[in-house]
Structure 1
Amino acid sequence: MFCDPVFRPVAEAVRETVEGTGGGAALAIRVGNRPVVDVWYGTADEHGTRPWEGGTVVNVFSVSKGIVATLAHRFAERGLIDLGAPVSTYWPEFASTGTVADLLAHRAGLPAVRPALPPGALFDWVAMTDALAAESPWWTPGERHGYHAVTFGWLVGELLRRVSGREVRDLVREELAIPGLSIGLPERDAGRAAFVLHVPPADVPHRGAAPPPSRLAEAMRDPESLTAKAFCNPAEQLTPGLPNTSRWRAAQIPAANGHASARALATLYGGLLSGEIVGREALDRATEVWSEGDDEVLLGRTRFGLGYMLPNEMRPFAPSPRAFGHSGSGGALGFADPDAEIAFGYTPNRLVFSPSGPDPRWTLIVGALYGCL
């Protein structure tokens, strides 16, 4: 472990979020591309007996989208992808008129497939990409935005495959080459993966009286709603304990089954800030506000760049409006703040779910971090 004395309150905040709660977590922070925090606490296995280690990886859910977006911007910078071109330029079977930028900015109108998908579709790349290529958009591409919670990975991932001839997991390994960062999890690395612990909703901390049901929660109860179809079709997405199965880890579900250590996420976002991964012009374009306002899927107000989430009302993960990155279901978080020169990676295995607002652990950790600057 390592912690610059100036940032000791940040390490203590991480310890506080773990002690007495079960599970574990790691936090890595770079400031000016210099490591200042690399700490981990708690346990990584189901029974609370295996200590968390510096190289422990965990499923980071939608934090994966930032990884996939980074690949797209590397390709765009090389001229292999034109962000303004129709997706069908590279993927002829793609029936919609949407552009590459529409895919990345959650404006493509393809957050869900309407017909119920058969068992096994979640793990079948061809089944999912064929279904999406044939699907009619839920709105005219480019006119509105809505979070492509799981389809983002297949849409952008297939685009990358068409351009490069390589699968997304291979691109992450070969193009980014960051230890502890992968789509899915190679079987050889299973022994260093943390077990994902689900927390019953009643155990999720909140201040004062419990909040009333959100529009998102209400929409999830209607199986015909766009929101429910985005999160529940294929239905296997809701299988209890799915992230801990070998089938999930072996699959390519690039919007949701990325695995990372905290150190790897801080390295990724530090490399973006330093210009080592993409150039300044490409990064500025990627992190501009491309989508802002009412989200057709999450039913709240969100902000996105091209593939990166920007701090917003539903997920206020950083105080700076110019920060960019991505949160993950249950609390994982990776982001960069170009003004403060911060690169941040947080990887818990105890999942805390909230339909809107910050993970309560972020409040402590991010608050302590900015208080140290």
Structure 2
Amino acid sequence: MHARFAPVRDCFHDLLTSGRETGAGLTIFYDGQQVVDLVGGSRSGHRPDGETWLPETLVNVYSVGKPVAALCLLVLVDRGTVDLDAPVDRYWPEFRTPATVRQVLSHTAGLPAFPVPRPATAIADWALLTGDLATADPEWLPGSVAGEHAWTYGHLVGELVRRVDGRSVGRFLAEEIAGPWRLDLGFGLTEADQLRCADLRYGDPQWPARKLGEPGSLRARALGNPAGGLDLAVLNSPLWRGAEMPAVNLHATASSLARLYAGLLAGGVLDGVRLVSPELVAEATQVQYDGPDLVLDRPVQWTLGMQRESDGSWGMGGIGGSSAWADPERGYTFGYATAHLAEHDRVDELVEALHSVL
């Protein structure tokens, strides 16, 4: 690791020593080069001396996967097979909501929650959940306001990929993005890859209740259906790891997340392999919506799949504390993947340490 970035390493180690972190990876690229690559803590949530977290340990990063799902669809946009401003039903005839592809990508399509209550087993039933969305009534006029499509985003984007390309979004990601760019991440893990997963654990037992919010609220409906998305017994099961729930169940290493954003920051090229055009990256990182988000209950700037911050950085945090983004102004990309479900204060402190040396 570059000596200049020692304060970041020290901060990461402090988080582990204090117990505020129990298992995570952190990777930073600066000026196109990997300058920080750290892992620490335990892979097994049952005991502190559980299996050591390794560079190849995968962990569920929740919404950090949304831009990755979006990128699958954006690759098809870049190839000219999908039009951002076409209605969704051009590609998915059964889809009733009058939303465009652009509105789906920018969380303004009006379908932030699955409309039919489903048990945890529905996580593995792609046709059931996409069928529910196709016939749903939107909660608002598409394009009029945003609400993070918390659990539904991956099925909306992923079904568009499947309808146009024929492959599931997980297979498309593996063959068209992760393979060419050598990224260790995926939706719908094989049994072999499931063996590399870290077990999620609660940083505090009240975490799931706090995240769901008021019973019956839009947020609770968006995060609570299908059941089990905040329940460790489900999250650490082969059912969840093997299913494709692309809005929330990307399993990844921190280094693959930082690498992905390094490729996007470089205009769509990584290690000499061009995935998309610079024009597509520019379009995908432009603000599409700037205003209140009805699910997050705060103002948000949405791009085509990412949140944009006031400092010009773009990327996505996940419920639980994982996060990945690019900061074009400062010239770095950041990937943090944690199994310790808590708040984002850990990332805030790491970023403070990083910015202090840039």
Relative to the length of structure 2, the TM-score reads 0.92
Structure 2 SS opposite 1:345: strand
The verdict on how the C-alpha distance between 1:367 and 1:59 changes in structure 2, with shifts beyond 3 A counting, is: same
**Aligned counterpart for 1:335 among listed residues 309, 325, 331:** 325
Q: Which moved more, 1:98-107 or 1:227-236?
A: 227-236
Separation in structure 1 between the aligned mates of residue 284 and residue 16 of structure 2, nearest angstrom: 34
* Residue deviations 1:150-194 (CA, integer Å, cap 9, x gap): 100000000001110001111111111234211132211223211
Report whether the alignment pairs 1:234 with 2:226: yes
* Secondary structure at 1:235 match in 2: coil
- Look up the SS of the partner of 2:324 in the other structure: strand
Deviations 1:130-158 (A, max 9, x none): 00010010000011111100100000000
Q: 1:114 to 1:202 in 2, by over 3 A?
A: closer
Counterpart position of 2:272: none
- One-letter identity of the residue aligned with 1:272: L
CA contact (8 A) 1:103 1:156 kept: yes
Give deviations 1:92-114, integer Å, cap 9, x for gaps: 11111100000000000001133
Question: Residues 244-280 of structure 1: CA distance to partner in whole angstroms, max 9, x if unpaired?
Answer: 1011001000001100001100110011111213222
Instruction: Summarize the Cα distance change of 1:119–1:25 in structure 2 as closer, same or farther, 3 Å threshold.
Output: closer
Give 2:215's match in structure 1, choosing from 211, 215, 222: 222
Q: Which residue of 1 aligns with 2:313?
A: 323
RMSD: 2.0
Aligned residues of 1:14 and 1:25 also touching (Cα < 8 A):
no
- The 5 A counterparts of 1:1-373 are 3-21=1-19, 23-46=22-45, 47-48=47-48, 49-117=50-118, 120-176=121-177, 177=179, 178-200=182-204, 220-223=213-216, 225-274=217-266, 275-276=268-269, 277-311=275-309, 321-353=311-343, 359-373=344-358
Between the aligned partners of 1:372 and 1:329, the Cα distance in structure 2 is: 28
* Percentage of identical aligned residues: 38
Between stretches 170-179 and 96-105, larger displacement belongs to: 170-179
1:81 aligned partner, one-letter code:
V
> What amino acid is aligned across from residue 368 of structure 1 in structure 2?
A
Q: What is the CA–CA distance in structure 2 between the aligned matches of 1:372 and 1:124, rounded to whole Å?
A: 47
1:29 alignment partner AA = I
| Structure 1 residue matching 2:219: 3-state secondary structure | helix
> Given residue 7 of structure 1, which amino acid in structure 2 is its aligned partner?
F
Report if aligned partners of 1:19, 1:42 keep a CA contact under 8 Å in 2. no
- Matched residues in 2 for 1:165 and 1:111: separation? 25
1:106-129: per-residue Cα shift (whole Å, max 9, x none)? 000001133323563222100000
On the 8 A contact 1:64/1:258 being kept in 2, the answer is yes
Structure 1: distance between partners of 2:219 and 2:41: 35
- Secondary structure of 2:259 counterpart: helix
CA distance in 2, matches of 1:335, 1:154: 22
Q: Judging changes above 3 Å, is the alpha-carbon distance between structure 1 residues 203 and 307 closer, same or farther for their aligned structure 2 residues?
A: closer
* 1: CA distance, partners of 2:119 / 2:33: 48
Q: In the alignment, is the contact (CA less than 8 A) between 2:113 and 2:152 conserved in 1?
A: yes
Amino acid at match of 2:195: G
Write out per-residue CA displacement over residues 51-109 of structure 1, whole angstroms, 9 at most, x where no aligned residue.
11111111111101011111122111110111011011111111111000000000000
DSSP 3-state at the match of 2:229: helix
Match of 1:294, SS state, is strand
SS of residue in 2 equivalent to 1:80 = coil
Contact 1:273 1:336 in 2 (8 A): yes
Judge which range, 89-98 or 230-239, deviates more: 230-239
Q: Which amino acid aligns with 1:10?
A: V
**Contact 2:123-2:240 at 8 Å conserved across structures:** no
* Equivalent residues of 1:23, 1:45 under 8 A apart: no
CA separation in 2, counterparts of 1:191 and 1:115? 33
Residues 26 and 254 in structure 2, CA contact (< 8 A), matched pair in contact too: yes
SS of the equivalent of 1:297 reads: coil
- Kindly provide the amino acid, as one letter, of the partner of residue 92 in structure 1: P
One-letter amino acid matched to 1:63: V
> Matches of 2:223 and 2:42 in 1, distance apart?
29
Task: Give, in angstroms, the shift of residue 19 of structure 1.
Answer: 1.4
Is contact 2:201–2:232 with CA below 8 Å preserved after alignment? no
Q: Provide the C-alpha distance between the structure 1 equivalents of 2:120 and 2:341, rounded to a whole number of angstroms.
A: 26
Q: Is the 8 A contact 2:56 2:196 kept in 1?
A: yes
**Which runs of 5 or more residues in structure 2 are unaligned?**
270-274
Q: How far, CA to CA, are the matches of 1:241 and 1:60 in structure 2? A: 16
* Distance apart, 1:235 and its partner CA: 2.4
